[in-house]
Structure 1
């Protein structure tokens, strides 16, 4: 589905379709009695049909295993991890998704620090990536990937960063965000349980930006996290570069179905003049009453009016 600190954990699953479908369901953790190597998937590890992504370290027989779950605050921390299959062996073959084999989202639990990065895979199945963990605290790490021959998964694990912790309150709800001289405006209202159209528009110096650059095969990438439990969803926009109908700004449109009412934190990645920037919003979702509007992917992240499909 990279940025400085970025409507993607989801310990969160806001399921969606640039068309978005944010799924609900009970969070089920790995079997506490399981051995060090993950056991074959069973009722304790298999994700229910509508369980949020990123709520579990083990799902459908795959496990996210960090080399270490504890580190010290620093600006350049090397994070290493593996994705293990049901036999406990590292996965080394993946299906590219939006130009990358794996998307890694790292967010502090108070939403005060966010990164969307793309690790490098070693021949032994170990992923590695440098992270800016200057700010101490408890983080959630989300690995969003498609194993070769498998389905899209989002696995989550906790990372503790030792140091002077400065917990921050959730920023107030707002429809405008500024980042690096750009202003991004959110237009649309999201209600739980039904598809809602949301457009994020990019301006600079009061003028609309109409030459956004493709970034990971899209004009924008949106990660949404439910603040109550860090339910995660990495979503993609309506349309894609080169389809002949999707403009390169200023607006990037998403169709969002939130799983529940409450506060969500949104991180929009967009690229302009060779630089990827992240606009951040706090959004309050009201309780919806209408049935979900059916949406599907066209194969490139663009929604079409058909039966619903979750990422």
Structure 2
């Protein structure tokens, strides 16, 4: 195998509570695009250690995501469904028409999906060091081939997650590794503090992550020093929050308490989430919100429990064998 970097990632998508397990890290150094057979082997390589997870919608639990002890997204295949990339070469900094399929238990590409949060499939791509984040929505042809314009900004290793629910089936999250060839060096986690600035907006974060307990997180949006009280629904909610645990990228996609049009949820400035994290450590939080017709992403680094034993909670070569946003 020519690839110098190996990584696994736990995905527990569209969940209010996600269990985590220690994952594998990633090596620093040159990355080469692996042959197709090596790529498939790498994306399937993982060892499940956590329990089952549940999907969640706008403040309420939905269907069970997995029927066994394997957390969603840990594997490229689950419950007979397989995520198969069709695009093998991605050059850093160049837009690529990234194509993939999801095949079903019959071995054929799935063409029938449930619509969840206004889309049939959500595609999230993060860099291994959690410095970049993209929430994308591919388009599907009639033969079940998905495509999306994808740009990996720098050389390195990335993780892609596909969240979907096949018609008549349970919600699933499948994961695969992506590679942009070239020399790279992992960055330390950003020390963001409690206020994030993006395009003239300020988002403040209040609340704590406590391992094993549901914690309230309140994100408040303002612009030019004034509270934003007319946030616009995006994918059926006033905000979307993705949390990823450093090192193994255990993944949580949770929607806020309440929803537009329910008669009680205000359109800002505050968006409230409830999340339970499985362990101490550092987490990266990415908030999507829409105002004046444009979706923006505010990002934070937040610790849970005691200070992590490993400084900056970044992967090291010993573990294994940047916030861009698009719509």
Alignment of 1:153-192 (within 5 A): 153-172=172-191, 174-192=193-211
Alignment TM-score, normalising by the size of structure 2: 0.75
Once the two structures are superposed, residues 199-237 of structure 1 have per-residue CA deviations (whole angstroms, 9 ceiling, x without a partner) of 111111111100000000000001111112011121111
- Where do 5+ consecutive residues of structure 1 fail to align? 1-9, 30-45, 288-311
1:142 corresponds to 2:157: no
Instruction: Give, in whole Å, the separation in 1 of the partners of 2:261 and 2:302.
Output: 31
Question: TM-score if structure 1 supplies the norm length?
Answer: 0.79
SS at match of 2:256: coil
The reply to whether residue 13 of structure 1 matches residue 32 of structure 2 is: no
3-state SS of paired residue (1:75): coil
- Which residue pairs with 2:228 in the alignment? 209
Give the match's secondary structure for 1:129.
strand
**Partner of residue 109, structure 1:** 128
Which runs of 5 or more structure 2 residues have no equivalent in the other structure? 1-7, 23-45, 49-64, 307-327
Q: What CA RMSD, in Å, does the superposition of the two structures yield over aligned residues?
A: 2.0
CA contact 1:266–1:283 (8 Å) conserved in 2 = yes
Q: Deviations over 1:15-39 (max 9, x none)?
A: 665xx2112468647xxxxxxxxxx
Change in 2 beyond 3 A, CA 1:160/1:134:
same
Secondary structure at the residue paired with 2:131?
coil
Count of aligned positions: 260
Which among 263, 278, 286 is matched to residue 259 of structure 1? 278
Runs of 4+ in 1 over 6 A off after TM superposition: none
Within 5 A, what are the aligned runs for 1:222-233?
Answer: 222-233=241-252
* Structure 2: distance between partners of 1:237 and 1:178: 21
Tell me which protein shows more helix as a share of its residues: 2
What aligned pairs does 1:1-311 form with structure 2 within 5 A after superposition?
11-13=9-11, 17=15, 20-24=16-20, 28=47, 49=68, 51-172=70-191, 174-286=193-305
In the alignment, what sits opposite 2:5?
Answer: none
Q: Which has the higher contact order (CA 8 A, sep 6+)?
A: 1
In 1, distance between residues paired with 2:66 and 2:292? 41
- Distance in 1, matches of 2:203 and 2:69, equals 32
Q: In the TM superposition, what is the alpha-carbon distance from 1:126 to its structure 2 partner?
A: 0.6
Deviation by residue 1:49-93 (Cα, 9 ceiling, x = unmatched): 454332111111111111134421133111100011122210000
C-alpha distance in structure 2 between counterparts of 1:142 and 1:24, whole Å: 16
